[in-house]
Structure 1
C-alpha cells in the first residue's frame, strides 16, 4: 500500500541545534511560517523543545545561524484575569505534521492547534470549561538570540501600532530592525479576525497600558478577553505592504473556512508538492529524512507574487524575499530545485535580475527589500551561468552578463552588501591581508565567478570577453602555495604569511582573516572550474586520492556547505566507487531522524539537498551542467520535471542499495550503455531512465582518466586561444 509523502514528514527532525529548522506549519515558499517561540534567550528559529513556550509568532527563518530576525506578531492564549504580563508556559502533548502543529499549554490546560495558508496563520484554541479565555497579541515580538545586541545582531521592536476596529478585529503594524545580514528597518502588517466577540479590549506599549482601543510605539500589545467561550478560532493575515493587503489575504485565503478545512488543504498542498519525487525502497528512517528534508528545501525564500507583496516597487515580475542566502543554496539546492521545479527556478533568477535593475547590483542575500551580507562573492553569477549552460529559457542572459561583469569591473561603494573588494583583486591579482576578513576564501570565490562570467559570455558568442574572464579565473592559483599544497594568504608585497597552519582558524570561523567558516584544509578543495588542475598539483590521481583519504581520516571534514562537494571529488581522480563509499558513510553517520539530526545549520536547503541528492544518487556541480552519479539509497525514484509529464527515473538492479560495500558495476541511460559516472543536464532535461547495476565485487565501471568528469578551465583557455 502506497503512503502519501506527508506520512513520512516529521517536523521535529532537525529543529534542535545545529539544524534550527521550524516545527510549526508553513507551506512551500510561504510568507507565513507560524510556530512556537520559547522562553528567552532563543535560537534563530525561536524554538527549543526543552524550554517553556512564550508565544506563537507568524514569521520565522528556518535553518539559519546568526542573529535573530522575525518571530513577529506573537499570540498567546491564557486564562484568568486579563493582563499583559503573562508567564512562559509549560507544555504537553506536543506533536506536528506537515502543515499542522498542536500542543497543550500548562498551567491553563489550553489546547492549541495551528495551521496556515501562504499568508494567513490559522489558530484554534480550546480553553477549559468554566475558564475566562484571553488572548495576548504582542505586536512587537521578535526572536532574541542570546548574547547578540538587539537592533544590531538580533532584532528588536522600534515602533508600530495596534487598534481594535471592532470586537472581532484587531489591526496593526510592527516595526523592527536588526538580525543577520543587515540592520535596515522593516515592517510587518497584520489583520486578526476572531470568531467570537471580545468583551474586554486592552492595549499598551512600552510606557504602560492605556484606556483606549488603539496604541502606538515600540513593544505595543493588545489583550482580548472573551469570558467562558470554550473554543476560539483566530485568523491572522500577514503582509509586508499594508493592513489592507493583510485583510485581503484573510478574505482571499481563509474567510468562511473552518480550521479543519484549512488544515486539510495544507496537507493536500504538501502531498502535491512532495509527489514531484516518488521514491521506492530504502529504510523507514531514510524515507522520513528524505521527505522531511524536502519540506525544509522549499521553506525559503518567501514568494511575494507578482506586484503583490513586494513593498518597494512594481515591475510585473514575480518576487521573493528571504534569499537567506544564495551563498548557501548555490552549493546544491538551487540545482536540485531547477530539476523538479524549473519554472520556479527561472522566476527566482528573474527576480534577482529585477532587483539588480532597481538597486544597481545583483544581491547575494536579499532580506526585506535590502541586500544583505556577502559571505564570498556574488553567488547569483554562478546560478545565471549554470542556467544558460542548461538551456533554461525566459531569462535575459545579455542583461545578466552585464550585471555579472559589473561585479568584476566596477568598484562597489559597500562590498559588505554588494559587489567585490575589487581594487586588490584587479591590481594585485589576489586579495591580500589588507582585506582583514576572509581574504583567501573570497579570492577563491571571485575566481570561480569569473569563470562563470566567461562561460556565459562564451554562450552569448562574446569570445573576447570570454577569453578575458577565463584568463582572470586563473587568478585562483595566485594564492596556491606549491610548497605546502594549500591555498594560503599573501601580504600586499607578495610575500606569503608566515607562520601559516592550514588546519587552523586564526580568530573564529566567521571572522578569520583568511578563510570564512573553515580552514585552508577545508577550502583548498574549492577549485570548481579546475579540479583537474587541483589533482595535477597534488601529483596526479593516486596522490590526490591519498590526500582526500587523509582529509577524511584525520577528521577535517564535517558537512559544512563549503565542503559538501568534497566527498564526490574522487570522481575527478577516476574513482567514483570511493566517492560513493564516502557519501554513504556521511549520510549514515551525520543525518538522523531526530531532533538534532542535522550536522549543521540547514541553510536554505543546503543540508537538505545534500542528503536528498545523495539519497537519489545524483549530485550537481554548481555553476556547471553536470551531475555526478553515485549509489542511491533507494531502489528507484521518479522525478517529475516541472509542470510537464516528463520523468527522470533512476532505478537499480542487482545488489540491494543498502548492502555493505555496494557499488555501481554497470549503467545505461535510455537503454544505451553508460560507462561514465556523470551525466550532462541535456541528457536528462527531456526525461530519461537511468538504470544502475549494483554489486559488491570490485569493478572498473566509471574508473580511469578517460572517464573523469570534465574540468572546464583548461578547455576554456584552449578554446579562447584559438
Structure 2
C-alpha cells in the first residue's frame, strides 16, 4: 500500500436504499454497490471480498437476473455464488438461504424488502413479510448471516440446495440442475451440495458444496425432495428434483447467526474453510475485516476532487474491477497445481481492453497470479480460455485475446511468469485448429485465416468437427479477422522479447491481415469498411455497415462502423486507408455525431483515443468528457452497459485519471484528467503521482504535460516511463492547444520499425 496514506474523511449523505456507512470510514464509504444494479449494468450488490469466492447476495423475482438481484421484486433468498455485470444466460445462484417466520410453505417463502443497504463486504435488507432484519458479510470462502426477528411468530430458516439462477432462460443459455443433496447432521449443522451445468458459457457440470452452522439449536427440522416434505428423513439426494431443508427455532429467539462455508471440492473442505476463516461468532469483527481488505485495495488509487459524485462514481468503478475473476486457488476439483487457479473469466474479450491493464498497473502481483492461472489452464486443457465459469471453458467471442493479456504482461515487466510457456500457448492459439470446439477454444476458422489472410464469409466447420455439417454464413468472420490480426501483433511482440526473430517477422506480417477485408465502399460521406469476403475473393453484396451482430453474424456485438476502427496495432495504416488524417478526423466526427458510437459495449472502448493518433488530442479529450458526463452517474442506473466483470468500470477509471491503455502494448494514450491530484500505488513501494494544474469546469484542455519535471512533448507514453513511479503534471487551459500534434503514438507500420 502507499507509504503515505491520504485518507479522505468525507461526510456522505445516506440515502435509504443506497448506502450503508461502512465501518472503514474511508474509501469504502465512497463506494455505492447499487450503482449498475438498474439499467443495463447487471452489477452484483451483495457482500464479497476482492476476487472472493463467496459472493453472498439476494436472489429476486424470476431468478433470471445475472447478478441475482432485481430491484423492487420479492427476495426468494440469499445465495452464495454470483457473477457481476454479465449479460446472456445467468450463472450460479447456488446454496440459497432464507429466514422466515410462521409455518413453512414449500415454494412460498419470499418477502418484499426495504431499507436495502450495501457497502464493500456487507449487505442488509429488511424482509417486510417476516419482520426480519437480514445482514450479511463474508470472508473469502464463508458467508456470515445475521438475522434479527421482531415478530412473535416462530422463526425458521430455509436452506435450498437445489436453487439456481437462469432456469428457463432462452437460447440454450439456461442453467440446469443435475443433482443436489441435503443432510441435517444435528440441530445446528447442515451440509450438502448443488450440481449444475449450463449458463451463458454453456459450461459443463460444476458442484458447489457447503457446510452450514447456526449459533443456536433448532427445535425441529425437515427435509424435502421435489414436492415431498419429510420430518423423519435427515438426508435427501436427487438427480433431478431439488432438495433442501428447513429449521424451526424457539419462538422467543430474537437473533440467529449462521455461517456457511463453500467449496468446489467437498463438503468436508467447505467445513474446513469455515473453521479456518471464521472460527468465531463475531459478525461485526468479520465485517470490519472485510471492509478493511477493501479499504486496502481501494487505497491503491487516491484521488482529490471537490466533486463528491465523481468520487463515488470513481471508487465504485474501482470496486467493480476487483470482483472478478474469482480466486479459487486450492478449490480446483480437476487437478492439483502449484500455480494459482482463477475462474469466472467472463470474458477476457471484455476485460483485456481495460480491466487487465488496470490490474497490471496497480495490482501487478494479482495480475501475475491471473496470468499464471491462464497458463495453468492451458497446461491441463490445451488452450487458454477466453471465457470460463463453473470450472468450464466456453464461448470464445472473437479473437484469442489471452494473447493480448500475455503481451501486456511481458511488455510491462510482470515477473514470475513462464513466458516461454506463455509463448507456446499463444502459438497454440494462432496455429492449431480447435477442432470440435470452434466456439470454445483458440481461433475458429484458423486454417482459412492462415491460407487466405482472412476468415471467409462462408465459414466452414473444420473437418475434425463431425457434429457440424453445414457452413455457417458469416459466423463472426469480421470480428475474428480483425481481432486475429491484433492478436498476431501481440504474438509478434512476445516473440521479439524472447529473441524469436523469424516468428516476429511472420506474425508482424499477419498483423496486417485486417486490410484483406477492407472494401472501399462509401456511406455517409466516408469511404472504406470492413466487409465480408468469400473464399474466392469476391465480396458479399447483400450487407449493411449498420447491421449489428451476435453469434452467427459477421460481427459480434458490434457493426462495421465500429469494427472498421479496430486496428489498434497499426492506426497509421488505418488512417491511410481512410484517405489521410483529414478524412480520418471527419470519419471519427461522423461516427460520434451520427450515433454510431456504442457506449454500452466494448468494441468502441478504444475509438475515442484515435483522434490522438491523427494529432488531435483535444478531440479525444472532448469526446471522453462527453461520454463520461452523459453516461456515468452516481445513480443506480449509472453504468451505460453490462459492466462485464468490471470492464465498463475500468474504462471509466483510466479515462478519468487522464490516460488509457492500448491493450497488448506498452503504450498509454493521454485522454482527459478529471482529478486535481491522483496518487497510484503501482507496487513495490512505488507511486505514480498525477496532477492537473488549473483544472476546472472551464479548463478542460491540456496545454502541456511534464513527466518528472521535463516536457513530455507528446500525447502518449510508455509503461517503462512510469514503472518506477514518478510525477506526471497536466497543465490545463480553457481552449484547445497544439498539445499532441507532433510525435504521434506508435504504429506497426512506423518507419524504422523492423
2:608 to 547, 567, 570: 567
Displacement of 1:145 after TM fit? 6.3
Q: 1:530 to 1:165 in 2, by over 3 A?
A: same
Contact kept, 8 Å, 2:676 with 2:695, in 1: the verdict is no
Q: 2:533 aligns with which of 467, 476, 490?
A: 490
Verify: 1:526 aligned to 2:566, yes or no.
Answer: yes
Structure-2 change in CA distance of 1:83 and 1:698 (3 Å): closer
Offset of 1:147 from its aligned partner?
4.2
Give CA deviations for 1:523-573 in whole Å, capped at 9, x if unaligned: 111001110011111121121111000000000112211101111110100
Equivalent in the alignment of 1:238:
262
Match of 2:331 among 291, 305, 309: 309
Flag the 1:459–1:419 CA change in 2: closer, same or farther, 3 A. Answer: same
Q: What are the Cα deviations for residues 558-606 of structure 1, in whole angstroms up to 9, with x where unaligned?
A: 2211101111110100011110010000001011111111111001121
Contact 1:430 1:443 in 2 (8 A): yes
Gaps of 5+ in 1: none
Matches of 2:509 and 2:63, distance apart in 1: 50
Instruction: Pick from 312, 317, 332 the counterpart of residue 293 of structure 1.
Output: 317
Residue of 723, 731, 738 corresponding to 1:685: 723
Say whether the 8 Å CA contact 1:677–1:702 is kept in structure 2. Answer: yes
For 2:167 and 2:581, how far apart are their aligned partners in 1? 46
- CA deviations on 1:105-156 (whole Å, 9 max, x unpaired) are 122111111111111111011112432000010101111266426xx41213
- Residue 2 (structure 1) aligned with residue 38 (structure 2): no
Q: Distance in 2 between matches of 1:275 and 1:574?
A: 35
8 Å Cα contact 2:131-2:151 kept in structure 1: no
In the alignment, the residues of structure 1 paired with residue 185 and residue 117 of structure 2 have an alpha-carbon distance, to the nearest angstrom, of 35
1:403 Cα deviation after fit: 1.5
The partner residue of 1:632 within 673, 678, 694 is 673
Give CA-to-partner distance per residue, 1:409-440, whole Å, 9 cap, x none: 22212121112221211222211122231111
Structure 1 residue 367 displacement after superposition: 1.8
User: CA separation in 1, counterparts of 2:125 and 2:431?
Assistant: 55
CA contact (8 A) 2:72 2:112 kept: no
State the shift of 1:282 in Å. 4.7
Q: Which residue of 2 aligns with 1:169?
A: 189
Q: Is residue 274–residue 291 contact of structure 1 (8 Å, CA) maintained in 2? A: yes
Identify the residue that residue 246 of structure 2 maps to in structure 1. 223
Q: Check conservation: 2:476, 2:556, Cα contact below 8 A.
A: yes
- 1:255 corresponds, among 254, 276, 279, to 279
Is 1:199 the counterpart of 2:219? The answer is yes
Could you say what secondary structure the match of 2:341 adopts? strand
Distance 2:388 2:455 in 1: 25
CA distance in 2: counterparts of 1:598 and 1:417, whole angstroms: 29
Contact 2:702 2:736 in 1 (8 A): no
Q: Distance in 2 between matches of 1:282 and 1:325?
A: 35
| Cα distance, 1:713 vs structure 2 | 4.0
2: CA distance between counterparts of 1:386 and 1:23? 31
Q: How far apart, CA to CA, are the structure 2 residues paired with 1:164 and 1:363?
A: 38
Of Structure 1 and Structure 2, the greater helix share is in: 1
Q: Does structure 1 retain, via aligned residues, the 8 Å contact 2:89–2:169?
A: no
1:483-531 CA-partner distances (Å, limit 9, x unpaired): 33010001122111103221123xxx32352100011001111001110
Aligned partners of 1:662 and 1:694 also within 8 Å: yes
Which runs of 5 or more structure 2 residues have no equivalent in the other structure?
Answer: 1-6, 10-25, 460-471, 523-527
Shift of 1:393: 1.6
Aligned length: 706
2:407 to 379, 385, 398: 385
- Conservation of the 8 A alpha-carbon contact between 1:74 and 1:138: yes
Q: Give the CA deviation at 1:471.
A: 1.1
Matched, 1:467 2:487: no
Q: Identify the residue that residue 331 of structure 1 maps to in structure 2.
A: 353
Looking at structure 1, the residues matched to 143 and 157 of structure 2 have their Cα atoms a distance apart, in angstroms, of 15
Number of the residue aligned with 1:11: 33
Whether the aligned pair in 2 keeps the contact of 1:282 and 1:634 (CA below 8 Å) is no
Q: How far is the alpha carbon of 1:18 from its aligned partner?
A: 0.7
Deviations 1:287-327 (A, max 9, x none): 0011111111000111112xx11111111111101111111
Deviations, residues 78-123 of structure 1 (Å, cap 9, x unaligned): 1112343324211122111221111111221111111111111110
1:57-87 CA distances to partner (integer Å, 9 max, x unpaired)? 1100100001011010001111112343324
Aligned counterparts of 1:537 and 1:79: Cα–Cα separation in 2: 69
1:601 aligns to 2:642 (yes or no): yes
Question: Which one of the candidate residues 457, 472, 477 is aligned to 2:515?
Answer: 477
Counterpart check, 1:212 vs 2:212? no
Q: Secondary structure at the match of 1:416?
A: coil
Provide Cα deviations, 1:366-397, integer angstroms capped at 9, x if missing partner: 22222110001211111111211122221111
1: distance between equivalents of 2:143 and 2:248? 20
Matched residues in 2 for 1:25 and 1:118: separation?
10
> Any conservation in 2 of the 1:424–1:432 contact (CA below 8 Å)?
yes
CA distance in 2 between partners of 1:121 and 1:169 (Å): 15
| Pick aligned residue for 1:276 from 282, 288, 300 | 300
**1: CA distance between counterparts of 2:166 and 2:374?**
30
Q: List per-residue Cα deviations over 1:334-380 (Å, max 9, x = no partner).
A: 00111111011111111111111111111111222221100012111
Q: Deviations over 1:622-650 (max 9, x none)?
A: 010011112311101001112x2100111
Q: 1: CA distance between counterparts of 2:122 and 2:412?
A: 37
CA distance in 1, matches of 2:130, 2:308: 37
Selected match of 2:451 from 408, 423, 427:
427
TM-score (norm 1): 0.96
Query: What CA distance in whole angstroms lies between the structure 1 residues aligned with 2:32 and 2:513?
Result: 46
How far apart in 2 are the matches of 1:323 and 1:220?
A: 30
The match for 1:536 among 554, 576, 579 is 576
| TM-score calculated relative to the size of structure 2 | 0.92
**Number of the residue aligned with 1:101:** 123
Matched, 1:412 2:430: no
Distance 2:579 2:740 in 1: 21
Residues 72, 113 of structure 2: 8 Å contact kept: no
Match of 2:83 in 1: 61
For 1:709, the equivalent position in structure 2 comes to: 745
Pairwise CA RMSD of aligned residues? 1.4
Deviations 1:197-251 (A, max 9, x none): 0111111112512331110013101001112211100000011111111111111
CA distance in 1, matches of 2:736, 2:152: 73
Other structure's SS at 1:712 match: coil
**1:420-471 Cα distance to aligned partner (Å, 9 max, x none):** 2212112222111222311111111111111111111111111111111111
Contact 1:190–1:239 (CA<8 Å) still a contact in 2?
A: yes
Are residues 1:676 and 2:711 paired? Answer: no
Residue 368 (structure 2) aligns with: 346
Matched, 1:515 2:539: no
Structure-1 separation of matches of 2:681 and 2:243: 48
1:578 matched residue in structure 2: 619
- Aligned residue for 1:82, secondary structure, equals coil
Superposed counterparts of 1:83-94, under 5 Å? 83-94=105-116
Alignment partner of 2:135 out of 113, 122, 135: 113
Equivalent residue, structure 1, for 2:395: 373
User: SS of 1:344's equivalent?
Assistant: helix
Tell me which moved more, 208-217 or 162-171: 208-217
Structure 1 distance, partners of 2:403, 2:736, is 41
Contact 2:54 2:80 (C-alpha < 8 Å) held by counterparts: yes
Match of 2:491 in 1: 453
Task: State how far apart, in whole Å, the 2-side matches of 1:453 and 1:147 are.
Answer: 38
